[in-house]
């Protein structure tokens, strides 16, 4: 079928370099968008252990090995060529790429396949993880790749302003989209915890890949300074290249009896962990718009996070948690201690972060924005939409009421779900 023969259908190919990312961060959105009669949305990703779960969830998959863990010129060239062939066969109207590796390979392959419109979504700029020459090189690549897409979607306002300052708006349209979570996934688990002080221990949780960006050492140093002052436990969910290094460090500073490494667990089990936690920790060097902090807030778990790009869009001081300067482990330790010792502070913040999440982190809002964008691309009015939204800073200027999300995505909140304090 040619694009002309399917003119009433919007055909969208999402490209992720990692099947893990699709399953844990994109599944609910993809399923919801596929619920619209005039949209066919499928995924191209690298083969991996989560592909089976994605297929069982009803996601249409095409697999191309994109070697998301490293940059290797020959393998990346083959990935671009293989991806181009898939796109030339499937003839999507829109390609929507994600993250750094999927974004690089996907954008180049899409232009080679003559895809009519290419969207790239930034989930945190990769170059910001580095300093010096390495940062300059990755920044150059990001600017270069902006030539290979038509629209760049940003999850936080700071990244939008960064794109403008770096001239990316002269190469592609820019639009703030935000981020959200499927709140219904967290609606079944009751959050009737005792305060840390009443419980006699503060239960901490950190959900994130063990790499340099997540900066776990800052948390470990904070806990080391607290081990003689308060009782605590820490659940670490995630693996990655620094797993062994982090394990060894925890052993060396004498807190291994209070820290449990869980590796990655199925995302369906995350609510159970959050229901037992008092505080979520996020010590990243930079984020897009961190889902872990949004998920924690929706369960009444405040976050202590570093005051960096992305995190400060979710961790609102005194509402959803507290911010500390990057690498200030003493400041982190102080905030943990405050939430342990001050019963009223923890209870007040637990309640306020839950209420804030209901109003601000609903993924259905993001889905409606995406559908509006896709329809505008298809009918040729995307320039007018971007202009009217002023880069996405004024989504309130347009109505999304005509975009109806299917009943199974509607939020049902039980007033008894969280104990009102």
pLDDT tens digit sequence for 375-400: 999 999 999 999 999 877 788 888 88
Interior angle at CA 222, CA 219 and CA 226, nearest 5 = 135
Mean pLDDT of 7-16: 92
The pLDDT tens digits for 344-371 are 999 999 999 999 999 899 999 999 999 9
Integer CA distances (angstroms), 212 to 73, 127, 218, in order: 24, 13, 11
- Average pLDDT, rounded, for the chain: 90
The predicted pLDDT at position 2 comes to 55
Structure tokens at 354: 């839950």
Query: Rounded CA gap, 18 and 31, in Å?
Result: 18
Q: Give the length of the chain.
A: 421
The pLDDT tens digits for 90-113 are 999 999 999 888 999 999 999 999
The pLDDT tens digits for 241-254 are 999 999 999 999 99
The pLDDT tens digits for 268-294 are 899 999 999 999 999 999 898 899 999
Q: Whole-prediction pTM value?
A: 0.84
The pLDDT tens digits for 36-46 are 989 999 999 99
Whose CA is closest to 174, among 15, 382, 392?
A: 392
The share of the chain scoring above pLDDT 90, in percent, equals 76
The predicted pLDDT at position 5 comes to 52
Task: Provide the b/e sequence for 346-358 (b: ≥16 CB within 10 Å).
Answer: bbebbbbbbebbe
CA max distance for the chain: 71
Query: End-to-end alpha-carbon separation of the chain, Å?
Result: 59
The pLDDT tens digits for 77-87 are 999 999 999 99
Query: Rounded CA gap, 70 and 213, in Å?
Result: 16
pLDDT level of residue 190 (50, 70, 90 thresholds) = very low
Ordered by where they begin, the domains of the chain are 10-180+362-401 (3.40.50.2000), 184-360 (3.40.50.2000)
Whose CA is closest to 209, among 241, 255, 256, 233?
A: 241
Residues 6 or more apart from 164 whose CB is under 8 A from it? 174, 391
Under a CB-based contact definition with an 8 Å cutoff, are residues 202 and 279 in contact? Answer: yes
Residues 6 or more apart from 60 whose CB is under 8 A from it? 40, 41, 42, 43
Query: Rounded CA gap, 91 and 78, in Å?
Result: 20
Residue 154: its H or E element: strand 151-154
Task: Pick the more confident residue, 210 or 407.
Answer: 210
Please determine, for residue 149, whether its predicted confidence score (pLDDT) is greater than 70. yes
Helices 291-298 and 343-360, interaxial angle, to 10°? 110
């Amino acid at each position: 079928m040619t694009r002309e023969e399917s003119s009433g259908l919007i055909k969208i190919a999402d490209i992720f370099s990692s099947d893990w990312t699709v399953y844990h961060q994109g599944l609910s959105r993809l399923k919801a968008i596929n619920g619209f009669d005039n949209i066919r949305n499928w995924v191209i990703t690298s083969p991996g252990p989560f592909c089976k779960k994605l297929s069982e969830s009803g996601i249409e998959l095409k697999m191309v090995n994109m070697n998301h863990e490293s940059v290797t010129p020959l393998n990346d060239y083959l990935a671009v060529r293989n991806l181009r062939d898939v796109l030339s066969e499937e003839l999507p109207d829109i390609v929507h790429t994600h993250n750094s590796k999927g974004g690089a390979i996907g954008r180049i392959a899409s232009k080679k396949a003559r895809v009519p419109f290419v969207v790239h979504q930034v989930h945190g700029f990769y170059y910001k993880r580095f300093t010096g020459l390495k940062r300059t090189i990755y920044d150059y690549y990001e600017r270069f790749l902006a030539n290979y897409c038509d629209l760049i979607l940003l999850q936080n306002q700071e990244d939008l302003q960064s794109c403008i300052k770096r001239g990316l708006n002269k190469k592609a349209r820019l639009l703030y989209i935000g981020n959200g979570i499927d709140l219904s996934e967290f609606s079944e688990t009751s959050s009737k915890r005792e305060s840390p002080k009443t419980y006699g221990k503060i239960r901490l949780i950190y959900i994130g890949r063990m790499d340099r960006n997540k900066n776990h050492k800052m948390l470990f140093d904070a806990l080391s300074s607290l081990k003689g002052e308060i009782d605590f436990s820490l659940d670490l969910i995630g693996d990655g290249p620094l797993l062994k290094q982090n394990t060894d460090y925890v052993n060396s500073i004498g807190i291994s009896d209070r820290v449990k490494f869980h590796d990655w667990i199925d995302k369906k089990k995350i609510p159970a962990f959050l229901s037992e936690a008092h505080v979520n920790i996020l010590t990243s060097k930079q984020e897009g718009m961190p889902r872990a902090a949004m998920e924690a807030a929706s369960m009444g778990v405040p976050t202590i996070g570093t005051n960096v790009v992305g995190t400060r869009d979710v961790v609102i001081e005194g509402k959803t948690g507290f911010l500390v300067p990057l690498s200030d482990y003493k400041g982190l330790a102080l905030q943990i201690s405050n939430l342990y010792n001050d019963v009223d502070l923890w209870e007040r913040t637990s309640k306020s972060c839950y209420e804030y999440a209901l109003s601000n982190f609903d993924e259905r809002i993001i889905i409606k924005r995406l559908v509006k964008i896709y329809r505008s691309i298809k009918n040729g009015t995307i320039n007018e939409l971007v202009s009217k939204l002023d880069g996405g800073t004024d989504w309130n200027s347009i109505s999304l009421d005509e975009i109806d999300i299917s009943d199974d995505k509607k939020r049902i909140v039980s007033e008894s779900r969280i104990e009102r304090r």
